[in-house]
């Protein structure tokens, strides 16, 4: 009775991962008929097989190859790389930023804000501490007891073994609903 995800939230899935994207599989991986571990295996795709992503469901992508269609694990997929730029060439980042921006209300390319200071190695190395800027962060802080405006409901999920910050169980185990 560990985790009961009884929440069926009204969803706006799943533009999270853009559909119809060119990708490859990062390793030899099974192509399943359904998005489940125990589903029938259609075939094994060898590493680097080119695929097209159709949609996502949970931890799975529905994909097609030149011959087959089915489901593969999310983490075994790599999007085709953008930007062939060399070092000090901004094309990679620039390209992805502008291509992403097109999906949004304003399709302007990412404009370089005035007086942008970066966080390159050099800029970080030369930084002088700015305590005023630090104190100014207080202006936007949100109180611990502020209303949650996201509309999201919490879930009960445990850290993986060994990751927990305390030896004991997590604090929100109010054990109210434990039976």
Partner 1 sequence: MNPLLRLIRLFLIISISAIAINAYAIGFGGFSLGGGSEEEDSNSFDIGEIIDGVKDISRTITGIDEEAEIEIGRDAAAVLLGASKPVNDPELQRYVNKVGRWVVNQTNRPQLPWRFAVLSSNHLNAFATPGGNIFITDGLLRTLNNEAELAAVLAHEVAHVIKKHHIKAMSSINTSGLSGVLKLAGQTSEGKNNFIAKEMVGQVKDMYLRGLDKDDEFEADRMGIVIASRAGYDPFALVAVLQTLDSINPESSGLELLYKTHPPAGDRLDRLDPALEQFEGSVEESPLLEQRFNKYVARRP
Q: Which stretch binds partner 1 (CB under 8 A): 44-52, 63-71, 86-94?
A: 86-94
List C-alpha distances in Å: 154 to 24, 43, 148, 150, 164.
Answer: 34, 38, 11, 11, 18
Rule CB under 8 A: is residue 3 a binding residue for partner 1?
Answer: yes
How many whole angstroms separate alpha carbon 88 and alpha carbon 93? 11
152 contact partners, CB below 8 Å, separation of at least 6: 9
Q: Measure the CA–CA gap between 83 and 28, rounded to whole angstroms.
A: 26
Shortest distance (Å) from residue 103 CB to partner 1: 8
Stretch that binds partner 1, among 42-50, 63-71, 96-104 (CB under 8 A): 96-104
**Binding pattern for the stretch 128-167 against partner 1, x by CB under 8 A and - elsewhere:** xxxx-xx-xxxxxxxxx-x-xxxxxxxxxxxxx--x-xx-
Choice from 20, 171, 174, 179 touching partner 1 (CB under 8 A)? 171
């Amino acid at each position: 009775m560990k985790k009961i995800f009884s929440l069926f939230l009204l969803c706006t899935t799943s533009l999270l991962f853009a559909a119809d994207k060119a990708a490859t599989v990062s390793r030899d991986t099974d192509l399943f008929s359904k998005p489940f571990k125990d589903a029938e295996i259609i075939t094994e795709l060898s590493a680097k097989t080119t695929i097209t992503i159709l949609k996502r469901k949970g931890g799975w992508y529905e994909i097609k190859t030149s011959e087959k269609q089915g489901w593969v694990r999310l983490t075994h997929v790599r999007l085709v790389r953008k930007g062939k730029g060399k070092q000090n060439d901004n094309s990679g980042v620039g390209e992805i930023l502008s291509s992403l921006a097109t999906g949004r209300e304003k399709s302007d390319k990412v404009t370089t804000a005035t007086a942008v200071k970066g966080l390159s190695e050099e800029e970080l190395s030369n930084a002088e501490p700015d305590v005023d800027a630090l104190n100014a962060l207080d202006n936007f802080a949100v109180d611990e007891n502020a209303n949650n405006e996201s509309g999201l409901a919490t879930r009960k999920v445990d850290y993986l073994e060994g990751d927990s910050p305390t030896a004991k169980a997590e604090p929100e185990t109010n054990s109210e609903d434990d039976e």
